[in-house]
Each structure stands twice: as structure tokens, then as C-alpha cells.
Amino acid sequence: QVQLVESGGGVVQPGRSLRLSCAASGFTFSSFTTHWVRQAPGMGLEWVAVVSSDGTTKNYADSVKGRFTVSRDNSKKTLYLQMNSLRVEDTAVYYCAREGVCGGDCYAGPFDIWGQGTMVTVSS
Amino acid sequence: EIVLTQSPGTLSLSPGERATLSCRASQSVSSSYLAWYQQKPGQAPRLLIYGASSRAAGIPDRFSGSGSGTDFTLTISRLEPEDFAVYYCQQYGSSPWTFGQGTKVEIK
């Protein structure tokens, strides 16, 4: 079935790095823009980063710009989030999400498929 | 950045009652790019409504969305036990993509 599965979360000290992965299955991964969204404990949803279907266009939230890098390997059907210089405030569940196809006269779609999330804890 | 403000923060209702959730944007959002998501504890968000008023695949017709410009509404016509959850609105027409802070629908 259509699925996204994140991995790579864990406990890390401030200033260190971590790489998250998101494996896709059940659909043509290379055709879809994909995003990272995070949720701090007890808080709401925060968009983090986006990468276009071919990997050439990327964009980031100001809170992570210069520290996080999003990438993808379409041959492996996998999305990545390289997180450097981690801060305590980066502690959150990180979700990958597929941007759905929008029909008709539109240029962007909602997040129609989400992974189950992977927890990242930044603590000394 | 488009800021989305949801109200109320918490809605206390009984099964069978009607729920009306509001999402107000700091600037106009094209109705093509406004979505609603449902999230239950320990689960990922689930897409309910996109394009302000279109139901996603498999979403029951008791869920409906409306609105335009800066004011949008999610209505649950008759609450079922499985509808008690947190609901988020999102605009996806301009970067950065933004979410409202959420409305919790709890059992009264």
C-alpha cells in the first residue's frame, strides 16, 4: 500500500548531527514533491523543508535554514533530512509527507500521505 | 508568512452534536490552497479537506469545509466517537507552508 516510513531518530547532544530517512513504497516516489514537518512535544505542526520531485528545488523554514539539508534519492525511493548543529528546540517528532497532486488549475497540493514519524531528542 | 489562527482552542461537545471550527488567516489565502487535518494521540495527521471544501478520499460526508479569503470553517455535522481529536488548518499556496495552532475537540 501507499506508505512512508521514517527512521533515524534518537537522542543526540546539542551541537551534534543526525540524519533522518523516509522510505516510500506503493507509489511512484520520483513523481512527488515531499516535505518534512515536525511536532514538538505537546505542540502543533511546523513545516520544516521541501524538496521537489527531481531534487533540484529545495526550501527551508527560517528556524532550520543553514543547519538542515533536505535531499532525496529517487533510485532508492528515499527522502533524507541531514540535521546539523542541533539545538534543544529541535526536539520533536519528525514526519515526512507527500505533497499530493492537485487537479485542474492549481500549482500545489495538500499533504495527502504522512509517515508515522520518528522522534528526535536533543539533550545534554 | 501567512499566520493561521484557529478558534476555539478547545471545543467540548457530546457525540451527535455539531462541531464548528474556525481558521482565520493573516492575509488572503486562495481557497484552492487551504486544507484541514485530523490528528489523534500518537498518530500522524490525516488529510480531511483540501481546496477549502473538497473531501479527501475515504473521508465521511459528515465532514465539510467552507470559506474563502481569510475565514475558513470546518464543520462536523454529527460527532462520532472517533471524531474526538485535534484539528489543524494549513495553507499550502505559499512558502513557508503554515499550520494553525490546532483545535482540540473533546468529549463533554
The pLDDT averaged over each successive group of 10 residues in chain B (108 residues) is 97 98 94 92 97 95 96 97 98 96 97
CB contacts of B100 in chain A (<8 Å) are 44
Residue with cell 488567516: B25
pLDDT digits (tens, 9 = 90+) for A41-99: 999 999 999 999 999 999 999 999 999 999 999 999 999 999 999 999 999 999 999 99
Cα–Cα distance, B91 to B6 (Å, whole number): 12
Question: Which of these, B60, B67, B66, lies nearest to B46 by C-alpha position?
Answer: B60
Cβ contact, residue pair A110, B50, below 8 Å: yes
Nearest chain A alpha carbon to B48: A112
**Partner residue facing B99 (CB), from A44, A102, A109:** A44
CA-nearest residue to B87 within chain A is A44
Ramachandran class of B31: left when φ > 0, alpha when ψ lies in -120 to 50, beta otherwise: alpha
Cα A54 to Cα B26: distance, rounded to the nearest angstrom: 32
Distance CA(A4)–CA(A21), nearest Å, equals: 10
Instruction: Read off the pLDDT of each residue in A28-33 and give the average, rounded to a whole number.
Output: 96
